Each structure stands twice: as C-alpha cells, then as structure tokens.
Chains A and B, each alone.
Chain A
Amino acid sequence: MTKIVKMEGYEIHHPVSDLKRKASKGDGLSLKEIEKRIAKKMGALEEEFLSGVPPVIKSIEDALDRLEKGQGGIVEQKEIFRQGHDLKGMGGSFGYPIMGTIGSAICQLSNDDIETKNMMLPLIRVHLDLLIYVNAHRIKDDTDPKAAPILAALENAKTR
C-alpha cells in the first residue's frame, strides 16, 4: 500500500519497494564471479555483434550515396544518425570501443542540429571508410598496432 503525504500543491508517494526483499543478501555472486561468467560468453556475443556490422555499413553507405548524389534528404540523415548512434552504444559494450568512437563521430556529423544541406558528407565518408577498415581488420581499440593509421586519420578528419 502506497503511503501518500499531501503537501501544498503536490503529493509525496511512498510506494512499497519490493526490490530489497526480492534481492536479499544471501547466496549472491560477487562482481568478480559475475565478470568471470560473462567473460565466457563474450566471445560468442562479439561474433554476433560483428556479423551485424556489414548491414550497418551498407545502410550508412546507401544513405550517404543518395545524399552525395543530391537525392537524399532528412530520411537519409536520420538513417545515418541512427546507425551511428547504435554503433556508438554498442561498440564499447561489445569490446570494440574504436567502433563506438567512429559511431559517435558519425552521430555528431548527422545530428538534427545540422541542416541536411549543411552536412559534411566527405567527413562522413572518411568515417565510413574507417569503419570498413576497422571491421575488416577486427581492430578493437587504440592499443592494436593496426589502429595507428586509423587514429591519425580520425585526428586529421577532425582538424580538417
């Protein structure tokens, strides 16, 4: 039963929280044990994630092609943003933070603060090429020696 306290202009509700009772301290797992458990599963999850990257690349490429040919509009911009946004969230979650960084940059270049006609399409193309390279070489992060040219290109793209 929720206890309700009436105040001037608003109410304070104290709902009964069942969480503590249901998740009682007992035979729970330590974070270390939980991390061990998920580590066993991560390989398969990474493979699943990587198998989903080519369709993402294709989707961005198709939308970008249309924009470059002057045939695209807000729909294409939104599609590029959406795919970039998904990559941004998933890259790091699946052990590929460099993909997350590229996704984040694609988001910045296609967000709705930018008018479609003012989008920097060549820069998006650079990031798409980087994504293709990273995916082909399975580069996880900046500690991979193969990432050095990527990081330099990203830095160049930003300052151009």
Chain B
Amino acid sequence: MSKYYNFRNLDIIFVDDNKNMHSLLKSLLLAMNVVNSRGCYTSEECFKCMLEDAPDIVITDMSLNPENGIDLIRRIRQGEMGVDRYTPILVLSGQTSLKHVVSARDAGATEFLAKPVSVGSLHDRLVWMIENPRPFIKASTYIGPDRRRAMRGYEGMERRQ
C-alpha cells in the first residue's frame, strides 16, 4: 500500500478573482488527483457552490475585488445560508504581513498559505489540514478553529501561555 494520500475523493472549492489563478489552481489540484474542484470568482458564487454540494475544503484569496475574503470566511463561520460552518478554510494570499495573517486567523481561517504558490507548498498544507483537524471555539465574538493551536507556518505566533 502506498504511504501517500489519495486526494481523488476530495471536493475543493477555490475562490479567487483572477482568471490565471483559476487555471493554475485547477491544474495544481488536478496534478494532485483532486478531480472535483470548483472555481469561484466571488463570495456569492462560493456560497452557491457550497449549497449545491458541500465541499471538503474551501481555498480563498483575501482580496476578492471588490469584496473581501475575510468577510467570506466570517460568513462561512456564521453558517450563513445554511453552509457548513466547520468547513476547513485555507487562505491563499499575497498579503502576508502579520496584520493580514492575524486578521485571517481571527476571522476563522483554518490555515494560511502565502502566494506565490507551488505544488509542494499547497500539497504540504493540504496534508497538514488532513492530519491535524482542529476543534472549534464558539465564543461571543469568535467562531472558528481553536486559535491556541497556531496555523501551519505560524507556529508560535501569539500563542497563549
């Protein structure tokens, strides 16, 4: 038996407002054997796709012209329109300052991956998400993965004592 994950049965939605990124992500995912991937350009499209068929993972950019990926993450975490609020969300963004990473985490992102993206970095992050599911915290001002366990690549960042 192979020691490698087979991603064939995964269903992934990616949200990005750039046509070239759609081609790239579709190809990267296909190379990994993810045959069920759906690309969306807007938050509304993403919600529509999520309602049609619940995905296993959502990958989203942070700046979805003219919208904001952070709002999309918050809306998913609120379970808006009945989508699964626990869906793992991977943020794929070129906005890599600490401010942006923290805002993604505080909105409820599961993991963060900086652009430029390579097949190796995306594969690594997907494997990490599969092997390290995180419990969710629901408080008055936050719902999302437990922030005490830092996102991949940002271990140690703002960890509580």
Task: List chain A positions with a Cβ less than 8 A from chain B.
Answer: 2, 9-15, 17-20, 22-31, 34-35, 37-38, 41, 45, 48-49, 52, 82, 85-86, 88-94, 97, 100
Task: List chain B positions with a Cβ less than 8 A from chain A.
Answer: 1-7, 9-10, 18-21, 23-24, 27-28, 30-33, 56-57, 61, 63, 65, 86, 88, 93-95, 115-120, 123, 126, 129-131, 133, 135-140, 146
Contact across chains for A27 and B115 when beta carbons are under 8 A apart: no
Besides A19-B57, A34-B31, 13 new A-B residue pairs in contact (Cβ under 8 A), listed by A number: A10-B139, A12-B138, A19-B56, A23-B126, A23-B130, A27-B6, A29-B4, A30-B2, A52-B19, A86-B94, A89-B115, A93-B117, A93-B118
Contact across chains for A28 and B4 when beta carbons are under 8 A apart: yes
Contact across chains for A22 and B56 when beta carbons are under 8 A apart: yes
Once bound together, how far apart are the Cα atoms of A22 and B54, in whole Å? 14
Once bound together, how far apart are the Cα atoms of A37 and B65, in whole Å? 31
Contact across chains for B139 and A9 when beta carbons are under 8 A apart: yes
Once bound together, how far apart are the Cα atoms of A27 and B24, in whole Å? 24
